[in-house]
Amino acid sequence: MSNRSWFFASGDKQQGPYPEDQFRDFIAKGLVRADTLVWSEGMAGWQRAGDVPGLISGGSGPPAFLPSDPYPADGAQIGGPLSAEFGTWALFGRFLIYGISYLLIIPLPWAVTALYRWLVAHLRVPRWPNATFTGKPGDIWYVFIILALCAYAGLTGIRYIGIILFPLEAFLSWMIVGWVVANLSPDGHQRPLTFIGSVWTYIGWHVLILVSAITIIGWAWVVTAWMRWTCRNVEGNRREVVFNGSGWQVLWRTFVLGLTCAFIIPIPWMLAWYTRWYVSQFALLERAV
Could you give all domains of the chain from N- to C-terminal order, each with its CATH number? 1-78 (3.30.1490), 80-286 (no CATH)
Neighbours of 89 (CB within 10 A): 12
| Residue 259 Rama label (left phi>0; alpha psi -120 to 50; beta) | alpha
| Residue 42 Rama label (left phi>0; alpha psi -120 to 50; beta) | left
Per-residue confidence (pLDDT) for residue 59, from 0 to 100: 42
Whether this prediction's pTM lies above 0.95 is answered by no
- Which residues neighbour 287 within 8 Å (Cβ) at sequence distance 6 or greater? 237, 238, 239, 240
Judged by DSSP in three states, 15 sits in strand
Cα distance between the two ends of the chain: 42
- Which residues neighbour 194 within 8 Å (Cβ) at sequence distance 6 or greater? 178, 181, 182, 234, 235, 236
Per-residue confidence (pLDDT) for residue 66, from 0 to 100: 39
Specify whether the CB–CB gap between 51 and 20 falls below 8 A. Answer: no
Per-residue confidence (pLDDT) for residue 212, from 0 to 100: 95
Give the C-alpha separation, 63 to 271, whole Å.
43
Per-residue confidence (pLDDT) for residue 38, from 0 to 100: 84
Could you say which residues of the chain have pLDDT below 70?
Answer: 1-3, 11-13, 42, 44-45, 57-79, 127, 187-192, 286-289
Give the C-alpha separation, 24 to 30, whole Å.
10
Per-residue confidence (pLDDT) for residue 74, from 0 to 100: 40
Per-residue confidence (pLDDT) for residue 171, from 0 to 100: 97
